[in-house]
Amino acid sequence: MTRPSPAVDPREALPGLLPNLRAFAIGLSRNVATADDLVQETILKAWSNMDKFDPATNLEAWLFTILRNTYYSALRKTRREVQDSDGTFAATLYEKPAHDGRLAYGDFQRAFDQLSAEHREVLLLVGALGYSCEEAATTMGVATGTVKSRASRARKRLAELMHLKDGEDVLSGADGATAAVISRSVIVAA
Amino acid sequence: MSVPKMSASKSGQSMVTESIRSQIDENLKRAYHEVLTEEVPDRFKELLAQLRAKEAGQ
């Protein structure tokens, strides 16, 4: 029973990684329909290429690589990135507005939606998932230094989109539309 | 491994402050977690089951 059998078939790990794949796809594409198509395509590609997966490496990162490559090649074909957003990532995420001086969540989500796909990608991997710059670099197929500078620019861009400056309260800049959305978030969260 | 603390600089040109950075990352984690804990549509589990069945049948 304890014979050194080859590692468990990574295919068996796929069901458990579906939520991760889907969350990454939604964060990257900001559109649930697009994201679900991406997840489907990723599953199919991963299944038929599983022999190319190195079990010594991170399966999630390998799947993310397939997914983001699929996404970017579709983007290049359609050039529909900007129109594609249905605000889903934001809509999914409406929760309590900030009441303790931290970033207003609604503002954050809208700003995130406005980032370029590359900026969203690096922030998802490094910021949300806590990937090291090296892991993110492998996943994205770029140099580690590129990840560092891109993550830095992405955070800066996000702060600009939220009109965040040092010591400034993000809610002070809320206009009518923002306030309306924030109040909608309260209703949704309630 | 330590991240240099950004002073709340007047320049503000190159990077966001450590405070904003950590707030951004906190929001990113929260946002990701929200989606992560959503129910995954059945179609994906069904797809995997189909792939497995197809392979078993070969």
Residue A123 lies in a domain: yes
Contact A15 B48 (CB under 8 A): yes
What DSSP string describes A106-168?
HHHHHHHHHS-HHHHHHIIIIIIS---HHHHHHHHTS-HHHHHHHHHHHHHHHHHHTT--TT-
pLDDT of residue A132: 97
- The count of structural domains within chain A is 2
In a shared domain, residues A20 and A61:
yes
In a shared domain, residues A100 and A156:
yes
Residue A5 lies in a domain: no
Contact B27 A89 (CB under 8 A): no
In a shared domain, residues A63 and A138:
no
d(C-alpha A16, C-alpha A100), whole Å: 35
- How distant is the Cα of A180 from the closest Cα of chain B, in angstroms? 20
Q: Could you tell me the residue range of the domain that residue A138 belongs to?
A: 95-190
In a shared domain, residues A108 and A52:
no
Question: Over chain A (190 residues), what is each successive 10-residue block's mean pLDDT?
Answer: 62 94 96 95 96 94 97 83 51 46 75 95 96 97 97 94 63 42 40
Interface test with A, best of B11, B13, B16 (most A CBs within 10 A): B16
In a shared domain, residues A82 and A99:
no
Residue A6 lies in a domain: no
The domain ranges of chain B are 18-56
The nearest alpha carbon in chain B to A37 belongs to B44
Closest C-alpha among A88, A90, A109, A112 to residue A36: A88
Point out the residue among B26, B32, B45 whose CB comes nearest to the CB of A27: B32
Provide the CATH number for the domain around residue A82.
1.10.1740.10
Contact A174, A108 (CB under 8 A): no
pTM over 0.80: no
pLDDT of residue A189: 39
Point out the residue among B17, B35, B41 whose CB comes nearest to the CB of A166: B17
Whether B49 has its CB under 8 Å from any CB of chain A: the answer is no
In a shared domain, residues A62 and A99:
no
Provide the CATH number for the domain around residue A131.
1.10.10.10
The helix (H) or strand (E) run that includes residue A31 is none
Please determine, for the modelled complex, whether the ipTM score is greater than 0.90.
no
Identify the burial level of A143 via C-beta atoms within 10 angstroms of its C-beta, where 0-12 means exposed, 13-18 middle and 19 or more buried.
exposed
Question: Over chain B (58 residues), what is each successive 10-residue block's mean pLDDT?
Answer: 46 69 92 92 95 87
Point out the residue among A15, A40, A103 whose CB comes nearest to the CB of B23: A103
What's A3's DSSP letter? S
Half-sphere exposure of A137 (CA within 13 A, CB side): 11
pLDDT of residue A94: 43
